[in-house]
Amino acid sequence: MISREPTLERLAIARQLLLEPFGLDETHLTKALNEIRAHRVDDADLYFQYTRAEGWSLEEGIVKTGSFSIDQGVGVRAVSGEKTAFAYSDDISLASLLDAAHTVRTISGQGGNARVRAVTRKVAPSRSLYPGLDPIATLDSTAKVRLLEKVEQRARARDPRVVQVMAGLAGEYDVVLIARADGTLAADVRPLVRLSVTVIAEHNGRREVGSGGGGGRFGMAYFDDAVIDTYVSDAVNAALTNLEARPAPAGELTVVLGPGWPGVLLHEAIGHGLEGDFNRKGSSAFTGRIGQRVAAKGVTVLDDGTIADRRGSLNVDDEGHATQRNVLIEDGILKGYIQDSMNARLMGVKPTGNGRRESYAHVPMPRMTNTYMLGGDKSPEEIVASIKKGLYATNFGGGQVDITSGKFVFSASEAFWVENGKIQYPVKGATLVGSGPEALKRVTMIGNDMRLDSGVGTCGKEGQSVPVGVGQPTLRIDGMTVGGTA
């Protein structure tokens, strides 16, 4: 059997799903793009997408909901200066393409016709970061239900105080094809799965919730017994810990953040402020600060869309650019921003492979992929032992951030009070309040245990949601404001 190079294989799959059933080929894409380029525009692209999604949820031992959907369509975009014209349709046809192309080209301020020069068709460079499989087909329906039942059984068996278990399984098969005005043609085949478990534990009339789960860009066979046990342990342990939690103290305290998912604070409070659009418009706390110190020495922050199998990774972004490993902050010095094509062009820099959109019905914008801080040289035990009085936060729930000021508010879903280097007891209701840029400057110890999250992150921006990853090592931050309930 002769196998094709992965990039060509993805292009072949995209053509089979998104062009051939509708009587289209690449000459029709060129015709549509030339229709846009007949007016003076700076950029234009076509974004075709086919998505098949499935979801299952189990509660009280029975499947409560099941869903299956197929969506497909095309988005057509023209960019002139900092203006964007966009049209989309779930009707993939030459007539729809040409109609959308004619509509969006009117964005050109000059209005007149331009000479359309021929462009050379080129296949965008990309990577093979995950298998091009349909994850929904990797388990049959009976096996999926059994998987959810196993999650519930193991959670209930873990502790008699577990009184309720909810489990969910989701899979998505996403195929995209991107044609750009400069002749670039790119495609990606993106599997995505996620298994989640939420438990409620009860003791002496008190009820607490814990959750666990994860996933990534692979098939459902990933969820073997060992992985299930990890997710169940995370959920049950969180619920049982919170059953013993006391009211959290308040004040200016030393705070230690655990590794992995607590990197969501880094994502929200720092990452969004490093997106190109906010900095081009001057609305970020990091605007105009490239080359300056914005964090303590030792703090290095990356956004990396090239990590194999990760939820936030992409072979190509939604504008056809290969994703990259972008160093944003190096040893405390701001090195750059993450960019899509429009903001990169307007800022005089190159795109960084961070042009992302929720679907064919949305415009791309600069978005994070997997954002994390590199590890340091301290053991997590050493960092906790260094606290005289403070908070050790190991998990987070929701949070809010103001991009302009960098100020954030985050709720810790699992945290502990520490005195004289010893964990004393769990606390509940702790809220971290501060400024992202200021918090980075107050990092005094960085752990050697950098860890990425388990694959659960979804990022929202301007009404669009995309899968992302976060990560960090154990961190000590001095002088952080903690709002509590005590």
Among candidate residues 154, 179, 32, 156, the one with its CA nearest the CA of residue 103: 32
Residue 118 has pLDDT above 70, yes or no: no
Report d(CA 391, CA 285) in Å as an integer.
27
pLDDT of the residue at 64: 87
Arithmetic mean of pLDDT, 42-46: 96
For residue 113, is pLDDT > 60? Answer: no
Q: What is the pLDDT of residue 127?
A: 85
Give me the chain's average pLDDT, please: 94
The closest alpha carbon to 443, from 178, 254, 196, 204, belongs to: 254
- Which residues are CB-neighbours of 258 under 8 A, at least 6 positions away? 380, 392, 393, 394, 395, 474
Answer yes or no: is pLDDT of 1 > 90: no
State the Cα–Cα distance between residues 154 and 337, nearest whole angstrom. Answer: 44
The Cα–Cα gap between 332 and 345 comes to 27
Give me the pLDDT at residue 486, please: 61
Q: Is the pLDDT of residue 144 over 50?
A: yes
Q: What is the pairing mode between strands 389-401 and 251-257?
A: parallel
Q: Which long-range contacts (CB under 8 A, 24 or more apart) does 109-114 make?
A: 109/80, 109/81, 109/83, 110/39, 110/40, 111/39, 112/39, 112/40, 113/38, 113/39, 114/37, 114/38, 114/39, 114/40
